[in-house]
């Protein structure tokens, strides 16, 4: 019962992050992003996810595997 607030917070945070990603509401640098085509925006989103999200996920798996 003591840790349930942590799990509930994580659930709400991930639910909100997923909804924001689905609704395309994340913060971006609009100087470079806004005036370009949809194809360019898709490439920026793909490379941004690969370069920023993937290393964090790999590090999390490495650290979790060593515990």
Per-residue pLDDT tens over the stretch 2-55:
888 888 998 999 898 888 878 877 776 677 777 889 898 889 888 888 888 889
Closest CA to 52 of 28, 23, 16: 28
pTM above 0.75, yes or no: no
Alpha carbon 67 to chain centroid, angstroms: 24
User: What pLDDT was estimated at residue 11?
Assistant: 92
Cα separation, 28 vs 37, whole angstroms: 15
Collapsing DSSP states into helix, strand and coil, what is residue 15?
helix
**21 membership: H or E segment, kind and range:** helix 4-22
Q: Among residues 7, 9, 6, 44, which one has the least CA distance to residue 24?
A: 44
Domain boundaries, the chain: 4-65
Which pLDDT score, from 0 to 100, does residue 33 have? 76
């Amino acid at each position: 019962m003591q840790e349930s607030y942590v799990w509930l917070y994580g659930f709400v945070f991930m639910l909100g992050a997923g909804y924001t990603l689905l609704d395309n509401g994340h913060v971006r640098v609009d100087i470079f992003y806004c005036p370009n085509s949809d194809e360019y925006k898709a490439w920026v989103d793909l490379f941004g996810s690969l370069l920023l999200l993937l290393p964090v996920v790999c590090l999390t798996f490495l650290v979790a595997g060593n515990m």
